[in-house]
Structure 1
Amino acid sequence: MNTADLNQKADSYKIGVGHMKELMPGMVDAYHHFTAACFADGVLDKKQKQLIALGISLFANNEVCTVYHVGEALSEGATPQEIMEATAVAAAVGSGHAMSQGVTRVQQALGSLTAGTQ
């Protein structure tokens, strides 16, 4: 994806949030307050939280959030190596998710759908 496309998506998000704020200002302000509190330094620092958010953004297949959290992680001092390691962890979780469903739900479905046909 090129920078212009990403900027357009980010702008669409900002415009959408602006429209929502016109209709529901308290909710949007509460959301921003909540997310600011979630990303503030705590036991986990801001960099660690941004790396976690990056992994979740990748797993959720959210392009705008992925780019946003890469930028935020960099601004909080993450190195490209740390960002790529977080990306690898997200890949492991994503493939592990498919594997866990395959060895549980899919096999259960096969068992119930093929019971009596064997």
Structure 2
Amino acid sequence: MDYQPSNPTEEALHDYKLGLGTFTQKMPEIAHHFNAFTEACFKEGTLSQKEKQLIALGISIYSQDEYCIIYHTKGCIDQGASEEEILEAIGVTAAFGGGAAMSQAVTLVQECITDLNQYKQ
């Protein structure tokens, strides 16, 4: 039986994982190096993994990359970021990205927070 996502956030994460899997099959060396690089970037260091996810979320919002917005919203929650921390990071992003950044925050990010918090209960 095929996996059936239950909400838009879960569906987008599933689609991303499928796409990454296909890319990895077709281009294993590039995928390996990309994955190793991103794993190194997101390792705990002077900045915590939570702080790095909040930064990545801000960059994703600024660049209007919906898959990364969803992925890094999940990363923030997985690393223990509160809704207030996420919203504060979004505020900083909106200071640079204006209305385009804010529109992602008040729609997609809040939808993701709601969807992802349903799994925690």
Q: TM-score normalized by structure 1?
A: 0.71
Structure 1: distance between partners of 2:79 and 2:12: 23
Rg larger in structure: 1
Q: Deviations over 1:22-68 (max 9, x none)?
A: 12101101111111100001111111100000101111112222122
Output aligned runs, 1:11-50, within 5 Å: 11-50=14-53
Of the three residues 83, 92, 95, the one matched with 1:92 is 95
Higher relative contact order (CA 8 A, sep 6+): 2
Q: Using the aligned pairs only, state the percent identity.
A: 40
Of the three residues 49, 55, 67, the one matched with 2:70 is 67
RMSD over aligned CA atoms reads: 1.8
**Where do 4+ consecutive residues of structure 1 move more than 3 Å?**
none
Letter in 1 for 2:74: G
Any stretches of 5+ residues in structure 1 without a counterpart? 96-118
Paired residues, what number?
94
Any stretches of 5+ residues in structure 2 without a counterpart? 1-5, 99-121
Letter in 2 for 1:94: G
Structure 2: distance between partners of 1:74 and 1:5: 17
Which residue of the partner structure matches residue 56 of structure 1? Answer: 59
Q: TM-score normalized by structure 2?
A: 0.69
